[in-house]
Structure 1
Amino acid sequence: MLNSLGIDEHTQSVYQLMLADPQAGVKDIGQKLGLDSDQVKTALERLVDLSLVDVDDDRVEVHSPELALPALHARNQAELAQRNQDLEDSRIAMMQFLTQYGGSVPTSGPEAERLVGSDDVRAKIAELGAAAVDQVLNFSQTGRMNAEALEAAKAVTEDLRDRGVRYRDIYLDSVRNHEETYEYVQWMQSKGVEVRTLPSLPLRMVVFDGKAAIIPLSNDLCTAGGLLLRNEVVIEALIALFSEKWKEAAPLTRTRPRRKEGLSAQERHALRLWALGLTDEAVARRMEVSFRTVRRIHANLTERLGAISRFHLGALALSKGWISADDLA
């Protein structure tokens, strides 16, 4: 019912139960809904992100849907408008990366084919997947997928694994916030797909057998279409980029992995993006999390380190080795 607002079924059920019983705890909610504690905590985190619930120390305040849902809709519209201004960021980052390798992306000719719309992109992915014999590399730069996209992806995945093609996929950490997509990714792992996650990715792409790649015309979930590339230099650069990110990525688990100093990959990546000068809004878009989540990460890190400013936070993070000088380059 509320999927269009970014509220999955479990999160909606928890919200409805809390509206009926604002004093219910994690254990009570889990027992009544048949969810484990991790599922309940994930739903509560999502509700906090969406400003439907506030948590202050041990006090939980549930906001009325009459006030909270219209405000959430308005915020989603504002975030979408801001995201539309930033759609080209990932594509530009990819172009800059390719330039370092001495290559360029052709836009027409025998080594490039323009795909119009998401249907063309899905059809070409299915075609190239059916012809793949070695391996498929994928950046899934989205934390949530609709039912149509999930079904199409399942068909390609099953075919690849049935034929013994190695399939490696990197998802955003935020995939954990969308139950349907997270369940699909777990299903992928059960089929032998190698899955890891990162806080953010430079672009969406899929590479087949080191011979062909599809990238979006813009990173708006490929609705505008994509480019099918066969240029050898471009493909080599994309494979090198995937290998670099694969080493950084962490295995998929329900909870986000934490480093020995207690810093999560999400927190460390936010520090790196702030060090590069990105605003909280840009960090949220890059990591595909809510603005509220980024502000909460900032508040937690500031409190943990005793920082008095963003500059001070960055300096303390450097001194502790949480980020390196290379992150500031």
Structure 2
Amino acid sequence: MHTTESVEQIANRAGLTPEGVAAAESRLAGLGLLQPCPSGGWAAVSPETAADTLLAAAQKDVLERQSAIAATRARLHALTGEYLEARSMRSAKGSIEIIEGIDNIRSVIDDLARNCTSSADALIPGSSLSEEGIRAAIPLDLETLARGVRIRTLLQHSARKHRPTAQYAATISSAGAQVRSTGVIPSQMLIYDNDCGVLPVDPADTAVGVVLVRDPAVLSFLQRLFDHHWERGLDFTAEEQTNGPEPTQLERDVLLLLAAGKKNEVIAHHLCISPRSVSRIVATLMDRLGATSRFQAGVRAAMNGWLS
């Protein structure tokens, strides 16, 4: 670079227009590759020197942020001892603890899931899971399964008709979870490592609060309750029956009593219709469901969501 040459002189030598030379000088100066000389004109700067000068402020900012992150990490790690001590106190056998507030509930459940080592069992009533709950559950469940923890999740038959819930079941099943469905689930319930149970304070509104149970006797009962319903469940991946239109209200009432094991005469008495009418309705429903027994008709009706 001839530092004392004018823009016009450089343009003539380079075969460019003066405007093009001026634009090039401006771009090179912006990159730090040209520096003005006290005597006039420009001095060329090596790319290495220009890079050091141009990036010095950014590098300083990065170093300051890295130092702040490291300091924050160290302060948090210093609290590990207190956390483990508090967690061991919370896990004392025989204790019952109430957790209120949705954020606190999610935090505690997240903690239990991330620290369980052998099993996580769940009873989930209702015809669907919230999409927000599904988004939160999938990564946590997959991480838990990756640690070798056994997951068993029991849903209601009616949840099969809710696409996001069915997709959630398929996702965790493909990762190794066991998912089944049943007709009736008494209450929402979670059990981790057979060491801690989680029950809702109000089954009608699980966001109100949950009860953490660690009493061995109560946990033993809760585990037997879960196993009782689990053994009667059907694999969620089993192909769902699609058997014609939804039943009428009278047919639904007959199905409910049929599923409860009532005889035709008792059903007729409850519904104030003749036993012959009941026999005809039962025969029609069994044919529509492709069932060979009254029990099978009740199961298939439940899987179709007709008993919800």
After superposition, give the CA deviation of every residue in 1:144-183 in whole Å (9 maximum; x if it has no partner).
1222211221122012111010101101111112111111
Q: In the alignment, does 2:144 pair up with 1:160?
A: yes
Find the counterpart in structure 1 of residue 295 from structure 2: 322
> Structure 1 pair 237/145, CA: closer, same or farther in 2 (3 Å)?
same
Q: Do the aligned residues in 1 keep the contact of 2:160 with 2:236 (CA within 8 Å)?
A: no
Q: In the alignment, does 2:180 pair up with 1:202?
A: no
Find the counterpart in structure 2 of residue 184 from structure 1: 168
- Residue-pair matches, total: 174
Unaligned runs of 5+ in 1: 1-108, 259-266, 276-298, 308-319, 324-329
Which of 281, 293, 303 is the equivalent residue of 2:281?
303
> Structure 1 pair 271/133, CA: closer, same or farther in 2 (3 Å)?
same
After superposition, give the CA deviation of every residue in 1:201-254 in whole Å (9 maximum; x if it has no partner).
011100000110100112235121110111111100011111111110000136
After superposition, give the CA deviation of every residue in 1:262-291 in whole Å (9 maximum; x if it has no partner).
xxxxx977634585xxxxxxxxxxxxxxxx
Q: Do the aligned residues in 2 keep the contact of 1:142 with 1:221 (CA within 8 Å)?
A: no
Over the matched positions of the two proteins, sequence identity in percent amounts to 22
Q: C-alpha separation between the residues in 1 aligned to 2:150 and 2:159?
A: 22
Which of 105, 112, 116 is the equivalent residue of 1:132?
116
Q: Do the aligned residues in 2 keep the contact of 1:199 with 1:269 (CA within 8 Å)?
A: no
Q: C-alpha separation between the residues in 2 aligned to 1:179 and 1:243?
A: 26
> Structure 1 pair 234/197, CA: closer, same or farther in 2 (3 Å)?
same
Give the TM-score normalised by the residue count of structure 1: 0.47
Letter paired with 1:112: I
Which of 206, 211, 232 is the equivalent residue of 1:227?
211
Residue 184 of structure 1 and its aligned partner are, at CA, apart by 0.9
Q: Please give the secondary structure, in 1, of the residue aligned with 2:295.
A: coil
1:271-310 alignment, distance < 5 Å: 271-273=258-260, 303-305=281-283
Q: C-alpha separation between the residues in 2 aligned to 1:198 and 1:306?
A: 24
**Which structure is larger by alpha-carbon Rg, 1 or 2?**
2
Q: In the alignment, does 2:201 pair up with 1:217?
A: yes
Q: Please give the secondary structure, in 1, of the residue aligned with 2:184.
A: coil
Q: C-alpha separation between the residues in 2 aligned to 1:257 and 1:160?
A: 32
Q: Do the aligned residues in 2 keep the contact of 1:250 with 1:257 (CA within 8 Å)?
A: no
Letter paired with 1:137: D
Residue 133 of structure 1 and its aligned partner are, at CA, apart by 0.5
Q: C-alpha separation between the residues in 1 aligned to 2:225 and 2:209?
A: 22
Letter paired with 1:271: L
Find the counterpart in structure 2 of residue 171 from structure 1: 155
Q: CA RMSD in A?
A: 3.3
Unaligned runs of 5+ in 2: 1-92, 243-253, 263-276, 286-292, 297-308
Q: C-alpha separation between the residues in 2 aligned to 1:223 and 1:171?
A: 19
Q: C-alpha separation between the residues in 2 aligned to 1:301 and 1:225?
A: 47
Q: Please give the secondary structure, in 2, of the residue aligned with 1:322.
A: helix
Q: Do the aligned residues in 2 keep the contact of 1:140 with 1:169 (CA within 8 Å)?
A: yes
Which of 200, 222, 247 is the equivalent residue of 1:238?
222
Letter paired with 1:150: I
Q: C-alpha separation between the residues in 2 aligned to 1:191 and 1:141?
A: 22
Q: Do the aligned residues in 2 keep the contact of 1:196 with 1:250 (CA within 8 Å)?
A: yes
Find the counterpart in structure 1 of residue 43 from structure 2: none
Q: C-alpha separation between the residues in 1 aligned to 2:234 and 2:181?
A: 5
Letter paired with 1:114: I
> Structure 1 pair 198/230, CA: closer, same or farther in 2 (3 Å)?
same
